[in-house]
Structure 1
Amino acid sequence: MSSRRRRRGGGGHGEDGHDERWLVSYADMVTVLMITFIVLFAMSSVDAQKFEKLRNSLATGFGQTEVGKVDTATGTVVRAEDAGKDAEGFSELALARKEAEKLLALKAAMEKGLGAKGLARNVELTIDQRGLSVRLVGAQTFFLADRPELTARAAQVIDVVGPVIRASRLEVSVEGHAAHGVTAYPSTWELSGARAIGVLRRLVEHDGVARGKVGAVAYGSARQVTDDSTEELMERNRRVDIVILSDQPEKVRAFIPDALKAIAVERKR
């Protein structure tokens, strides 16, 4: 009878066999211990601030603790319509934000210099997809009617923004404009071109802007910002725009306005 029992338990698992199933459980236990020590080691150098954000986020997600809105975002703000885009889209947003911050820094430096010398009046600084525009507005301030020569105030303004432009090492487009009407020149094209060249020469010859970085454009009266119904409105069309051009590709520059809005919102907080 006993011999039958021993035969039924054959295959190495009976009284005379070698049962090694305990090795599986032992190996599992060793693996768990190793993972535990690895996790403990990793946690020993954890960033306390990030860990606290993670703890609150997990607690809120599982409904264990009500901590309100948890904001762990520190990168680029993505518009709702851009959610789900590929990585290239996100990199363009990040580059646009950096470009916007760079242009804002240039703008702030110019505003500080102009303000310190009382020259901010009649100078408009704006940022858009092209870059940073410095608009010299007003015939009586920067140019006399039908004349291309810079006034003393115009030269002072250019000498403030010139060093900032030179340090940026960006391309510059000097764009001349003129009001409608009869001029001493054959057309408003020549007058606006002469004004742009006068600003360009001041930037290059007096303020050290590299010759290869700057060019002049004449728009004549083709790009009016107001109508010419009054003398005051006409003065806004007698202007020169100094445009510091962004060096980013067009697909990045397209996001600059959104980046500027995001930065403005963050600065108000």
Structure 2
Amino acid sequence: MTLLLETRPVPVIDAVIRKNRRLSDVSNGSGIEVVDTEGLRKRWSACWKMAAADRFVQVNWWGRTPTAVLVSAGMWQERQKLNKALVVPDSRVHERPSSDGRTQLTDIFDELEAGVHTVLLFHGKAKAVVVPYVWARKAFPELMLAEPVEPLHSDVAWDGELALVLYRSPRAARRFEREFEGAADPDFEADRRLLSPSSEQARRRQAGLRAVVYVVDGRVERVRAVDPAGEWADLGDGYALAPVSAALTREQIDERFPGLGLYPGEARPAAPGSPREYIDL
């Protein structure tokens, strides 16, 4: 995909912004603006223009879960040139006029679940990009963006066997279907792409992961087992290919995970504040 960009130098990010302060707290003109989704909606124009000026806008879902970062189109392309592992395939790039962003924020955040980067166009030129938070953490390590804290049930043990419940919107599910429509098993290709661990705590969770429950639009679609001895292939963009099994039947779920109690076709409302949660097996 060829984007029309205005060329500008990529700035050096000062260490003063490393603690995710608000712009008003930063004296040297560089910083990260932290907003929640409602704040982004109310200040949409100011936020994307700030990003276009080589500033950073971190967006927290429900005010607490980091979900996206707005960056300039120039910096977005520059980081892909510097690190081939960060290259975003055309299938995961969606262009939108910047004027449509405020009314289409729900769509933009739905697509983030599928790893989609939204390029914002102003008079036909790419100005800013809404990128997944996990990609931004890898692309801009100098920002020292914190690892998102995954919600867990209050009785979950960090070192025990866990199940991951992954919530997807219908739009995100359709995006995966389009991306892998030529694969022999599109659902399998989509389902095995999970977040790559980036901290010791996350690696401990990964080591204990035994099952993944996929929920679409509030209903369980599939349950897959995770091979504890299998290899996680890091894709370099914040995601990895997980060693998941074929979709399990109800009988197989009961046999392998008698304490799970989640079956295809059953309702499963999304956990507030995050598209995923962990439960103890």
Bigger Cα Rg = 1
Structures share fold, TM-score greater than 0.5: no
**Higher RCO (CA 8 Å, separation ≥ 6 residues):** 1
Tell me the TM-score normalised to structure 2 length: 0.25
Structure with the bigger percentage of helix: 1
Structure with the bigger percentage of strand: 2
Tell me the TM-score normalised to structure 1 length: 0.26
